Amino acid sequence: MTELRSVSTEMIGLLEGARYQFARTMADCPHSYTHQRMWNGEDHAVGRERGWTDEEGQAAFERVCAEMRPLMQQRFFDDPRKTEEVGWFNWYFDMNGYRYFNIGPPAPGWTLINRAPRQYRTAFAGDPQTYDDLFGQPPLAGRIKAFYAHAAPAGRVLDVGCGTGRTVDYCWKTLAADPGLYTGIDPSPGALGWLALKHPAFRERLIRTTLEEYETAERHDVIVMANVGPEEVAPGYPLDEKLRSLLAPGGRAVIWNGDAPREIRA
C-alpha cells in the first residue's frame, strides 16, 4: 500500500454504530453480521440519535455498501489455524480491528455485512508482563524516561502501538487527569489487556487496531509512536502522511525507535 486510503467519517460511524448478531449457525467461523433490516431507529446507534425512519436506515445501509465495495479486496480469510489453501475466500475490508466481509463479490443489493475480529500476529501478545519486566530494567528504563520527558504528551494524545501502556506508566500524572483525552491503539489483545489491568480508567480508550487500519474522526494534539519498528508497519506505507492526517492544527507527532526522536508537525 503506497497511498492513504480514504474512508468517510460517516462510514466509520455507520459501521461501528450498527448492531451485530453472532452467526450461531457458523460457529466454526466465528463472526457476527448486521442485516439491512437492523438499520433502523431502534437498533442502530446513529439511527437512535437521528430518529431514522425505516427508509433513512435502508438508505444509510446502501450508502455504506456503495462506499465499501471499491475498498474491498478478495482474499483468503486469514485464520491462523488454516493454511492459505483451505481458508475461506472472501471479499473483505479491514478497519479498527474488524474484518468486514462478504462471501460473494461485492454487488448492489447486499442485505448483509459480516464482521469478525481481525487476527494480527504480534510479539509478546501472550506474555505482556515479560515485556514490562524486560524493558523496565536499567539502562533502558532511564532512556525511556528521558524520551517521555522530551515527548511530553498532553492534550488529546494518540499512543500508536501503545503496547503494555508505558506511555501511561511514565506520563500517568498528566494523562490520568482526563483519561478521555487519551487514545491507545495496538493490534495486540494481550498487550491491551495488560494495559487495561494496570490502568482500568483507560480501558474504554483502547482500540485494537494497527495504525494502517485505524480510522477516526478524532484529531490529536500529540501523537507518540515509541518502539514500533519500521518492520511492524506495512512495507511502503505512507507513515508520515497518516500521522499528519491524525494531527489537530498545531499538533505534533513524536516517533522514537531508540535513537534520536523524530518529529512531524501538522
Ligand X SMILES: C[S@@+](CC[C@H](N)C(=O)[O-])C[C@H]1O[C@@H](n2cnc3c(N)ncnc32)[C@H](O)[C@@H]1O
211 binds ligand X (CB under 6 A): yes
Residues between 144 and 183 with contacts to ligand X, criterion CB under 6 A: 160-163, 166
Work out how close the CB of 236 gets to ligand X at its nearest, in angstroms, rounded to a whole number: 13
102 binds ligand X (CB under 6 A): no
222 binds ligand X (CB under 6 A): no
| Closest residue to ligand X, based on beta-carbon distance | 163
Residues between 225 and 254 with contacts to ligand X, criterion CB under 6 A: 226-228, 232-233
Interface characters, 111-130, with ligand X (x: CB under 6 A): -----------x--------
Taking the least distance from each CB to ligand X, the nearer of 67 and 212 is 212
Taking the least distance from each CB to ligand X, the nearer of 101 and 194 is 194
Q: Which stretch binds ligand X (CB under 6 A): 61-69, 70-78, 96-104, 222-230?
A: 222-230
Taking the least distance from each CB to ligand X, the nearer of 107 and 123 is 123
Long-range Cβ pairs for the range 251-254 (8 Å, 24+):
251/219, 251/220, 251/221, 251/222, 251/223, 252/221, 252/222, 252/223, 253/222, 253/223, 253/224, 253/225, 254/150, 254/151, 254/153, 254/222, 254/223, 254/224, 254/225
Residues between 178 and 197 with contacts to ligand X, criterion CB under 6 A: 185-188, 191
Residue with grid cell 442502530, as numbered in its chain: 44
Q: Which stretch binds ligand X (CB under 6 A): 33-41, 46-54, 70-78, 208-216?
A: 208-216
Where does this chain bind ligand X (CB under 6 A)?
A: 122, 160-163, 166, 185-188, 191, 210-212, 226-228, 232-233
